[in-house]
Amino acid sequence: MARIEIPNADYAPLGVAVEGDALFQIGMRHAAAATPDDRVAAHKWFNIAAMHGNAEAARLRREIAEEMSPSEIAAAQRAARQWITHH
């Protein structure tokens, strides 16, 4: 399987198919930083990757959510919906 490198998927052009594994890797980069903003971003990317079929992303999304406040989870879900709407 080919690996897709996306330095910042927020800037991926419309119409480009992004695989769940690449989205998962973006989430992992944010999860490793462990700041509140990065937890929100990690949850966002794990959510999107899970929607693209990555089971590990779904598991890690649940795990990271345990460390987040309800408002942080809501922010991550809004960000994921916004990204999906625009991509």
How do the domains of the chain map onto residue ranges? 19-86
Q: Is the CB of residue 62 less than 8 Å from the CB of residue 28?
A: no
Q: What is the pTM of this model?
A: 0.75
Cα separations (Å) of 11 from 42, 70, 74?
16, 27, 22
Q: From the CB of residue 37, how many other CB atoms can be counted at a distance below 10 Å? A: 11
d(CA 48, CA 86) in angstroms, rounded, equals: 13
Residue 6's pLDDT is what? 46
Quick: pLDDT tens for 32-79.
887 888 999 999 999 999 999 899 999 999 999 999 999 999 999 999
Long-range residue pairs from 31-39, CB within 8 A, at least 24 positions apart, any chain: 31/60, 31/64, 36/68, 36/72, 39/64, 39/67, 39/68, 39/72, 39/76
